[in-house]
């Protein structure tokens, strides 16, 4: 069987212009599943550090995930799926032009489109359906026999989990990684970049860029893309400077 070319996409910060978990978090506050004080006391300090460029985006993200895990324990899968549907209906078009155009291009090339995201799999599935992905992998929040969340989770936001997911998908679809593509924005996407021949950093974090610059092999093949307002910039990795 002839090997296929695939394009692996992260969602949060790569396709979607923010984090889907942020939108879910806001909805859960609105529906009084999460107390509003949790945002102000626990999440906002991490967000403020990141917004002022004094902290890491990943710390802000992981704080929301920690509270999300606590909040959904005992809720039914139907409740979270309802919220996921509402988020994608209302916010699903807030994507980067560059990434949306790349999805279109890959479809025209008959490439396999796969999203691998740290967002809850319920959200990832809805986003995958909206943009015509062939398959998806997201963080799996475990349910019990009554379809209620237990508080246990199989993550998909870290490099190790994403690498394992790609290995499984390579077997499933007979993928040729030497001709394939990956798009991501944080250090969790590092192993995706290492796996493929055509990696794209989309509005990358400082942590990710530092890892790329320390990796001579990856540095030679990386594409760095920055989209601001209605302009897309392609940068040379050696020209990037850190404060």
What phi, psi does 148 have (nearest 5°)? -110, 145
Inter-residue contact 169 to 114 (CB < 8 Å): yes
DSSP result, 206-238: HHHHHHHHT-HHHHHH-EEEEEETTEEEEE-GG
Measure the CA–CA gap between 185 and 11, rounded to whole angstroms: 9
Domains and their CATH numbers in the chain: 6-239 (3.40.50.1000)
Inter-residue contact 222 to 203 (CB < 8 Å): no
In this structure, of 34-43, 111-120, 185-194, the range with the lowest mean pLDDT score is 34-43
Which range has highest mean pLDDT (53-67, 183-197, 228-242)?
A: 183-197
- How large is the average pLDDT for residues 28-36? 89
In this structure, of 21-30, 55-64, 224-233, the range with the lowest mean pLDDT score is 55-64
Has residue 242 got a pLDDT over 70?
Answer: no
């Amino acid at each position: 069987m002839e090997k296929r070319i695939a394009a692996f996409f992260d969602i949060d910060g790569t396709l979607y212009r923010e984090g889907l978990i942020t939108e879910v978090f806001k909805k859960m506050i609105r529906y009084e599943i999460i107390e509003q004080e949790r945002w102000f006391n626990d999440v906002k300090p991490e967000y403020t550090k990141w917004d002022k460029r004094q902290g890491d985006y990943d710390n802000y993200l992981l704080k929301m995930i920690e509270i999300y895990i606590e909040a959904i324990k005992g809720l039914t899968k139907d409740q979270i799926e309802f919220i996921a549907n509402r988020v994608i209906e209302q916010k699903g078009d807030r994507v980067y032009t560059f990434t949306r155009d790349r999805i279109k291009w890959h479809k025209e090339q008959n490439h396999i489109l796969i999203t691998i995201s740290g967002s809850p799999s319920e959200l990832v599935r809805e986003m995958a359906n909206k943009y015509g992905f062939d398959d998806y992998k997201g963080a799996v929040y475990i349910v019990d026999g009554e379809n209620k969340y237990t508080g246990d989770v199989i993550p998909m936001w870290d490099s190790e989990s994403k690498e394992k997911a790609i290995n499984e998908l390579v077997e499933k679809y007979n993928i040729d990684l030497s001709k394939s593509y990956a798009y991501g924005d944080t250090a969790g996407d590092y192993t995706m970049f290492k796996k493929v021949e055509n990696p794209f950093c989309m509005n990358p974090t400082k942590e990710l860029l530092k890892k790329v610059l320390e990796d001579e092999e990856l540095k030679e093949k990386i594409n760095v893309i920055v989209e601001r307002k209605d302009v897309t910039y392609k940068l040379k990795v050696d020209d990037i400077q850190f404060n």
